[in-house]
């Protein structure tokens, strides 16, 4: 124990002055040690004191610093005149202070203690007291001498630090983000519970113990860690660094890291520290969104936007390898009809079937995409010749035209195909798509179930078509339609028994436009509904007018578009046309094309029966061109078959055509139907048909389709001698 003797003050070390170096007077002034000590004590920022070791810590001496420290003047504190030092000490701290001081005195004779005092002005301030026990004559500790200083400022800073640490620890412990410190060579220095949780470990300790080679154990692709380290070395940070990592159980998750390199003062990297978030859910969501954005939801095929990429890729490859690539536009024929008449479920199943048939026709590096509706686009990469493309197109047409069986029903399907190729027709996806689309339209126009390669002339055809569609919209209100009539003649009597109403469009600037040029546009745009109603009414009105004018009564045949047939108002509008014009139902015949009839047999049968119930006749037009099933034909309430003109044309030169015509006549009669031949242009045609029992004919041989006025003359005066 080192005791400090208070009654025998320690010699104060002071500098020895060399009298030879200065004045004697100056030297003696410098040695006034008491004055020096007093100056120091009185000017010290803290308080020097001597107190008794008693419960009050009774002060026997305090330096002038007392006032600044406690707010009490020295004389108020000394001998507890106004307040004892124990009273100054904050009650909560008193016992601890006393314990520390007594322990210090007992063991080393001195002590350090920090506690709070309540100043005279009511403020609490932190002090540090350093004291030494001073023994009495018997050597027992009786006083303490020491120094008390205000450490409030330091305590505040300490508290702030402590708070910061507490906060950091809380963050570290409770963060939902994983937090780590790792060495550049891939070991963990620290990890928080969240990180352990993210990586599937029971605790941070377990994680640290298990993962000692981050690059190989953690990252699914070790290159990712290499990239992480490279970024750290070059930029010192990584931001939103996304990687796939293994969890402890071997499952793979996506994480995003933000980290920085922590360097020492010598600019050497000490460790990396950063945060980890599990972004697996977001990544999965993004993947789903990306898939949805690029694929058709029904068929799972690439959609329009992915298609563009695929065309781009095919172009790039073709350019590099100096070969070709093809864009093939496939559009189902009459899909709308199936979809609307049989319902979307059947339509969807058909699209799925078509998608799989198309896929079966191409190679792995080709693309089958769904562009929307019933339009599919194929990208044939690596094509070397047009023949090669043609082979694929042939396979496509063949695959699609296989009968499709659904719900016990068999459907005939077909498609129209347009092909464009790089580099000949265009150098970018848009151009190639446009060209393939134009070519597909051409295929449709040439009778469907066929293909067309793009040629520059098609562009012209397309723009004409657009122009036509535009003017068609106004044709009805501007009264630009006309009805021509073509007489139907009974072979036996060679007299007019009916007339087919054939629409004409008197289009300003174009003259008389034939129906083949605009009916399909009218069908696509839906204009066929009002146009169809108009011609139906007009044909009925005209026929009734002839009758009322006393001309020999004839039947009038009106062509119906499949679109009209689908339209729910059809039966009603036929009934209305008859009622409004007064025409006898038996004088009206409705013509349906054969391919259409076969498409949706059951439903059409029902509609036909409703029409039949009105008393009108029904004819199957263009017979021989579709593929009728005889059983259907038997069940349908049909009155007449119209042999397509393509068979009649070569009847006298082509034995096959002649045989078909004979077969149709026989078949029709067997079913109790009347048979009409269209396109009779020559006497030879007529004679052949007569010879084989055909009932009626229609054709240029007797009369072309003529305006109503001319038809009236024919009715009144009879046919001019033909030949």
418 vs 326: CA distance, rounded Å: 10
Peptide bond into 423 cis (omega under 30): yes
Which of 34, 86, 35 has the alpha carbon at shortest distance from 58? 86
Residues 413-426 as b/e (b if ≥16 CB within 10 A, e otherwise) read bebbbbbbbbeebb
33 vs 529: CA distance, rounded Å: 125
Residue from 53, 435, 503, 521 touching ligand C2E (CB under 6 A): that is 503
**Which of the ranges 277-285, 307-315, 466-474, 677-685 carries the binding residues for ligand C2E, by CB under 6 A?**
677-685
DSSP assignment letter at 515:
G
Answer for the pair 133, 110: CB distance below 8 angstroms, yes or no: yes
Q: What are phi and psi of 546, to 5 degrees?
A: -60, -40
- If contact means CB under 5 to 8 A according to the sort of partner, which of Mg ion, ligand C2E, none does residue 178 touch? none
Q: What are phi and psi of 465, to 5 degrees?
A: -65, -40
CB 522 to ligand C2E: min, Å: 8
Please, which residue, 418 or 624, has the CB nearer to Mg ion? Answer: 624
Q: Which residue has the tokens 């600044």?
A: 68
Q: How many CA atoms lie within 13 A of 71 on its CB side?
A: 11
Token output for 676 = 């009409």
Please, which residue, 232 or 708, has the CB nearer to ligand C2E? Answer: 708
- Per-residue mark of binding to Mg ion, 398-417 (x: CB under 5 A): --------------------
Question: Binding to ligand C2E (CB under 6 A): which residues in 525-544?
Answer: 532, 535
Please, which residue, 272 or 484, has the CB nearer to ligand C2E? Answer: 484
* Angle at which helices 683-691 and 655-670 cross, to 10°: 50
Residue from 621, 657, 695, 696 touching ligand C2E (CB under 6 A): that is 621
Please, which residue, 341 or 698, has the CB nearer to Mg ion? Answer: 698
CB 645 to ligand C2E: min, Å: 5
Binding residues with ligand C2E: total (CB under 6 A): 24
**Which of the ranges 49-57, 313-321, 388-396, 675-683 carries the binding residues for ligand C2E, by CB under 6 A?**
675-683
717 binds ligand C2E (CB under 6 A): no
559 binds Mg ion (CB under 5 A): yes
622 binds ligand C2E (CB under 6 A): yes
In this structure, the strands spanning 511-513 and 640-643 are: unpaired
Please, which residue, 342 or 503, has the CB nearer to ligand C2E? Answer: 503
674 binds ligand C2E (CB under 6 A): no
User: Which 3 state secondary structure label does DSSP give 651?
Assistant: coil
515 binds ligand C2E (CB under 6 A): yes
Please, which residue, 98 or 520, has the CB nearer to ligand C2E? Answer: 520
488 binds ligand C2E (CB under 6 A): no
Please, which residue, 379 or 651, has the CB nearer to Mg ion? Answer: 651
CB 401 to ligand C2E: min, Å: 22
Answer for the pair 562, 593: CB distance below 8 angstroms, yes or no: yes
Q: Which residue has the tokens 């190729």?
A: 421
Question: Binding to ligand C2E (CB under 6 A): which residues in 80-99?
Answer: none
683 vs 427: CA distance, rounded Å: 55
DSSP assignment letter at 626:
S
326 vs 526: CA distance, rounded Å: 32
SS (H, E, C) 60-84: EEECCHHHHHHCCCHHHHECCCCCC
Please, which residue, 621 or 657, has the CB nearer to ligand C2E? Answer: 621
201 vs 447: CA distance, rounded Å: 69
Please, which residue, 400 or 619, has the CB nearer to ligand C2E? Answer: 619
Please, which residue, 325 or 528, has the CB nearer to ligand C2E? Answer: 528
Torsion of CA 325, 331, 333, 334, to 10 degrees: 180
- If contact means CB under 5 to 8 A according to the sort of partner, which of Mg ion, ligand C2E, none does residue 516 touch? ligand C2E
502 binds ligand C2E (CB under 6 A): yes
621 binds Mg ion (CB under 5 A): yes
705 binds ligand C2E (CB under 6 A): yes
Token output for 83 = 């307040």
Please, which residue, 369 or 531, has the CB nearer to Mg ion? Answer: 531
Question: Which residues, 6+ apart, have CB-to-CB distance to 597 below 8 Å?
Answer: 604, 620, 626, 628, 632, 636
595 binds ligand C2E (CB under 6 A): no
- If contact means CB under 5 to 8 A according to the sort of partner, which of ligand C2E, Mg ion, none does residue 561 touch? ligand C2E
Element (H, E) at 256: strand 252-263
93 binds Mg ion (CB under 5 A): no
**Which of the ranges 387-395, 459-467, 674-682, 685-693 carries the binding residues for Mg ion, by CB under 5 A?**
674-682
User: Which 3 state secondary structure label does DSSP give 625?
Assistant: coil
What residue ranges bind Mg ion (CB under 5 A)? Answer: 559, 591, 621-622, 678
Q: Residues interacting with ligand C2E, by CB under 6 A?
A: 486, 502-503, 514-516, 519, 532, 535, 559-561, 591, 621-622, 645, 678-681, 698-700, 705
């Amino acid at each position: 124990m080192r005791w400090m003797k208070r009654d025998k003050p320690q010699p104060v070390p002071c500098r020895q002055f060399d009298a030879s170096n200065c004045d004697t007077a100056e030297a003696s002034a410098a040695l006034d040690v008491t004055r020096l000590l007093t100056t120091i004590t009185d000017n010290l920022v803290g308080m020097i004191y001597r107190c008794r070791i008693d419960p009050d810590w009774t002060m026997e001496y305090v330096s002038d610093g007392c006032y600044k420290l406690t707010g009490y003047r020295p004389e108020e504190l000394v001998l507890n005149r106004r307040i004892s030092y124990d009273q100054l000490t904050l009650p909560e701290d008193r016992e601890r202070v006393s314990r520390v001081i007594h322990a210090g005195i007992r063991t080393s004779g001195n002590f350090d203690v920090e506690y709070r005092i309540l100043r005279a002005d009511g403020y609490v301030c932190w002090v540090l007291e350093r004291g030494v026990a001073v023994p009495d004559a018997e050597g027992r500790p009786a006083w303490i001498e020491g120094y008390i200083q205000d450490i409030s400022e330091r305590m505040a800073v300490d508290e702030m630090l402590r708070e910061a640490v507490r906060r950091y620890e809380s963050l570290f412990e409770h963060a939902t983000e994983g937090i780590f410190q790792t060495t550049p060579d891939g070991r963990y220095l620290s990890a928080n519970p969240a990180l352990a949780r993210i990586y599937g470990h029971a605790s941070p300790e377990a994680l640290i113990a298990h993962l000692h080679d981050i690059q190989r154990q953690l990252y699914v692709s070790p290159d990712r860690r290499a990239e992480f380290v490279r970024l750290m070395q070059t930029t010192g940070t990584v931001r939103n660094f996304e990687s796939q990592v293994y969890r402890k159980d071997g499952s793979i998750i996506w994480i995003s890291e933000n980290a920085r390199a922590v360097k020492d003062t010598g600019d050497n990297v000490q460790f990396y520290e950063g945060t980890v978030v599990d972004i697996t859910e977001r990544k999965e969501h993004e993947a789903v969104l990306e898939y949805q954005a690029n694929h058709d939801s029904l068929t799972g095929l690439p959609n329009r936007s992915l298609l563009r990429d695929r065309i781009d890729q095919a172009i790039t490859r073709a350019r590099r390898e100096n070969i070709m690539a093809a864009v093939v536009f496939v559009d189902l024929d009459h899909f709308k009809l199936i979809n609307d008449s049989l319902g979307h479920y059947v339509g969807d199943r058909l699209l799925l079937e078509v998608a799989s048939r198309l896929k079966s026709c191409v190679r792995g590096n080709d693309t089958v995409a769904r562009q929307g509706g019933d339009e599919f686009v194929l990208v044939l990469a690596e094509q070397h010749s047009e023949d090669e493309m043609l082979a694929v197109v042939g396979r496509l047409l063949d695959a699609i035209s296989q009968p499709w069986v659904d719900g016990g029903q068999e459907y005939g399907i077909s498609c129209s195909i347009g092909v464009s190729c790089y580099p000949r027709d265009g150098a970018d996806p848009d151009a190639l798509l446009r060209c393939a689309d134009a070519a597909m339209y051409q295929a449709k126009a040439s009778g469907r179930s066929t293909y067309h390669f793009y040629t520059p002339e098609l562009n012209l055809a397309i723009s004409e078509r657009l122009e036509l569609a535009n003017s068609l919209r106004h044709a009805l209100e501007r009264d630009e339609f006309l009805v021509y009539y073509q007489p139907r003649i009974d072979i036996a009597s060679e007299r007019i028994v009916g007339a087919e109403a054939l629409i004409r469009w008197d289009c300003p600037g174009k003259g008389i436009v034939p129906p083949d040029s605009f009916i399909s546009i009218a069908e696509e745009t839906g204009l066929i509904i009002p146009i169809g109603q108009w011609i139906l009414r007009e044909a009925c009105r005209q026929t009734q007018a002839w009758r009322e004018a006393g001309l020999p009564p004839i039947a009038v045949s009106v062509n119906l578009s499949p679109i009209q047939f689908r339209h729910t108002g059809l039966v009603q509008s036929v009934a209305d046309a008859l009622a409004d014009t007064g025409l006898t139902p038996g004088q009206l015949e409705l013509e349906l094309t054969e391919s259409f009839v076969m498409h949706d047999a059951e439903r059409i049968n029902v509609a036909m029966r409703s029409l039949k119930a009105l008393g009108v006749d029904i004819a199957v037009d263009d017979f021989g061109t579709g593929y009728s099933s005889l059983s259907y034909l038997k069940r349908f309430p049909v009155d007449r078959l119209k042999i397509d003109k393509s068979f009649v044309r070569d009847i006298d030169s082509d034995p096959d055509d002649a045989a078909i015509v004979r077969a149709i006549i026989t078949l029709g009669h067997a079913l109790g139907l009347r048979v009409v031949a269209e396109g009779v242009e020559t006497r030879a045609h007529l004679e052949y048909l007569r010879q084989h029992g055909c009932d009626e004919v229609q054709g240029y041989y007797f009369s072309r389709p003529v305006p109503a006025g001319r038809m009236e003359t024919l009715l009144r005066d009879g046919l001019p001698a033909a030949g």
